[in-house]
């Protein structure tokens, strides 16, 4: 069983990552990252240390996210939809039908999400 203190420390690290990613400026993000580092050191857990190292490795990309707010979320959602169609199609033999089905599903999803 995980001791409550370790669980609380891991939760605090997770929440601080969320705070850091929601900041509106690089200065605020840097301060949030410093606070995150303190929490990671206090937690003394390999998982949180590994997470912090990953964040440091990807810091330039995280800065771009903070400044622009740009993500690959829409692309990933489209890829998931295409994979779902492929799974349910169980091996279309006619590529025109397969492409048409992808386009129709995408159009239907767009129409529902954007009135």
**Segment 65-89, tens digit of pLDDT:** 898 887 788 888 888 887 877 776 6
Q: What ranges do the domains of the chain cover?
A: 4-68, 73-113
Cβ(109)–Cβ(81) under 8 Å?
Answer: yes
Question: Tell me: the pLDDT tens digits for 16-38?
Answer: 999 999 998 999 999 999 999 99
Report the predicted TM-score, pTM, of the whole model to 2 decimal places.
0.62
Cβ(82)–Cβ(102) under 8 Å?
Answer: yes
Per the model's pLDDT, the better-predicted residue between 101 and 14 turns out to be 14
């Amino acid at each position: 069983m995980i001791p409550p203190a370790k669980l609380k420390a891991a939760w605090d690290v997770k929440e601080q990552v969320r705070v850091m990613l929601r900041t509106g400026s690089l200065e605020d993000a840097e301060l949030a990252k410093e606070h995150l580092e303190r929490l990671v050191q206090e937690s003394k857990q390999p998982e949180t240390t590994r997470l912090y190292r990953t964040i440091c490795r990807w810091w330039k990309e995280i800065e771009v996210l903070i400044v622009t707010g740009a993500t690959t979320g829409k692309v990933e959602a489209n890829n998931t939809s295409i994979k779902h169609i492929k799974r349910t199609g169980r091996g279309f033999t006619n590529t025109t039908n397969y492409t048409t089905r992808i386009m129709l599903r995408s159009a239907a999803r767009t129409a529902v999400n954007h009135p």
